[in-house]
Amino acid sequence: MLEALRSFIGLRWTRFSWGLYNLLTSPFAVTLALLVFIAVMLLARSPRIRRWMTRGAIALLGTYWFVISPLFSIPATQLLVQFVPKDAGQAADAVVVLSRSREIEGDRYNMAVDMMSTGRVPRVFVTGRQQSINLVEKIQQTNLAKEQVLGTICARTTRQEAYSAASILGPQGINSIVLITDSPHMLRSWLTFKSLGFSVIPHIAPLPQHVGWSDRSFLAVREYLGLISYAALGRFNQRPPESLSQPANDILEDFPAERCAITSERLRQWTAQR
């Protein structure tokens, strides 16, 4: 019952936070809304209400423009990676690439292919059907085999990505991974994968240069809220490393391999449909 409640809250949190992110990363819309609100408040009959509401809206407008500026975005993002260990280039059993929208995913899939090409990792784990197809197309341009691609089509949240990786990689004896995601997302992802018993080497994929300051700021704000949420739900609680070889029932039930795993046959069918 408790785990079902956690899953419900987690899914609602994901939808709410991305909806809020999409709203707040439009400076024109936010500024226009606050300016309209100020104009309406100036028509209020009560001087006291007019004064306080107008001052509050102006303060909100100033705060918003500070938050979407480099003065906030840069230190907020840097603080998120302050406690994440650096990637020293050591070998691992697999590289796990966490998905993002196309606008902010950057070069993470090429990074994964490069790691495989140089022999640092023998296989790659991805989340999402389209992501796996794109990765196979990149692999086909090298001497690597598409059978080296593992993954899931069932994960929508960071927790689900970690659980699905544990359900598929754990039973294969894969416990050391290189984890690729962007700098705002790395701390929460690193802590989540570590909690399941993985030995995690974080590898940060820079956000594309076209990603604006407002997007960078609210990606960071979303991660701070996510860290609080995950900590409150106990999602950073450490499981023993040996639990990976036999994942807990809650993981296996959420991500059954026959329904969720990306297999060579599925990849063949998907690429044939392109």
Q: Is 120 among the domain residues?
A: yes
Q: Which two tokens stand for residue 27?
A: 């400076």
For the chain, what is the mean pLDDT? 86
CATH number, residue 205:
3.40.50.620
Mean pLDDT of 212-230: 93
Q: Is 196 among the domain residues?
A: yes
Q: Is 255 among the domain residues?
A: yes
Sign of CA dihedral 20, 21, 23, 29: positive
pTM of the model: 0.85
Number of domains in the chain: 1
Q: Is 176 among the domain residues?
A: yes
- The Cα–Cα gap between 56 and 156 comes to 37
Q: Where are the beta strands (DSSP E) in the chain?
A: 94-97, 124-127, 149-152, 176-181, 199-204
Q: Is 54 among the domain residues?
A: no
SS3 154: coil
Q: How many angstroms from the chain centroid is the CA of residue 3?
A: 21
Q: Is 76 among the domain residues?
A: no
Residue 90 has phi, psi (to 5 degrees) of -70, 155
Mean pLDDT of 212-228: 93
* DSSP for residue 146: G
In tens, the pLDDT along 70-96 reads: 999 999 999 999 999 999 999 999 999
Q: Is 118 among the domain residues?
A: yes
Least confident of 14-23, 92-101, 213-222: 14-23
Q: Which domain holds residue 202?
A: 87-209+239-272
Confidence grade of residue 253 (pLDDT, cut at 50, 70, 90): low
pLDDT of residue 2: 46
Q: Where are the beta strands (DSSP E) in 143-216?
A: 149-152, 176-181, 199-204
Q: Is 167 among the domain residues?
A: yes
